Amino acid sequence: MWRTTPMHRSQVAGSLPGDGPPPLPPGVARDEVQLPEHGAGALFHRRYRTLIRDARCTPEELIGFVTARPDRVVPTEMATFQKVRGNGERMAVGDEFVVRMPGPWDGPVRVVEVTPTSFRLVTLDGHLEAGQIEFSAERDDGLLVFAIESWARSGDRLSDLLYDRIRMAKEIQLHMWTSVLERVVRASGGRMTGGIEIRTRRADAR
């Protein structure tokens, strides 16, 4: 698929524990959680980030828009967020979703943190990855900044083969998260500035 959005990709060597995920907040349920130490292969600390000019919303309003219904910014031909635990439309700590994707890619996640300008998910048993992912928005020098940051290893050796060796899953993931950023920009009412930055730090298992 052709893309017109400029993408600036870089990958450098990372290290542990520096590139590991943040600790889970106190009080978050640990049952069925799939942390990086439960996974296989290298840990990838990855950030997708874009700058938005002339946005017609605040960071808080943008995160509120996304958390109310994540499918508003997710390419539904690639994935949908189905809530399987939790009440109401608003996202809350302890809510669980299954990210439905074509083929054997469904990914269960739990919400571990929600702030006015961010939310963070942890993977659960059966997910292709083992780790965490955070979505955030902020103001910086008059621009609205939206970022998706993840800290994860593959969930098992087969997933590692598909992701890091054959790289099929990696390219699918790249397309999905860059598509999300494009949709976030449209939802903000602003204009993307400078394309999308994709920064990867790879920390090989010791």
Domain boundaries, the chain: 32-203
pLDDT value at residue 161: 60
Report the sign of the C-alpha dihedral through residues 149, 69, 167, 23, in that order: positive
- At what angle are helices 59-68 and 168-188 packed, to 10 degrees? 120
pTM of the shown model = 0.91
| Topology classification of domain 32-203 | Alpha-D-Glucose-1,6-Bisphosphate; Chain A, domain 4 (3.30.530)
Total length of the chain? 206
Task: List CB contacts of 62: < 8 A, sequence separation 6 or more.
Answer: 55, 137, 144, 146, 184, 187, 188
Q: What is the pLDDT along the chain (206 residues), one digit of tens a residue?
A: 445 789 999 999 999 999 999 999 999 999 999 999 999 899 999 999 999 999 999 999 999 999 999 999 998 888 899 999 998 778 999 999 998 876 656 789 999 999 999 999 999 998 889 999 999 999 999 999 999 999 999 877 666 666 555 555 667 778 889 999 999 999 999 999 999 999 999 998 76
pLDDT value at residue 194: 94
Tokens in use for 18?
A: 């520096």
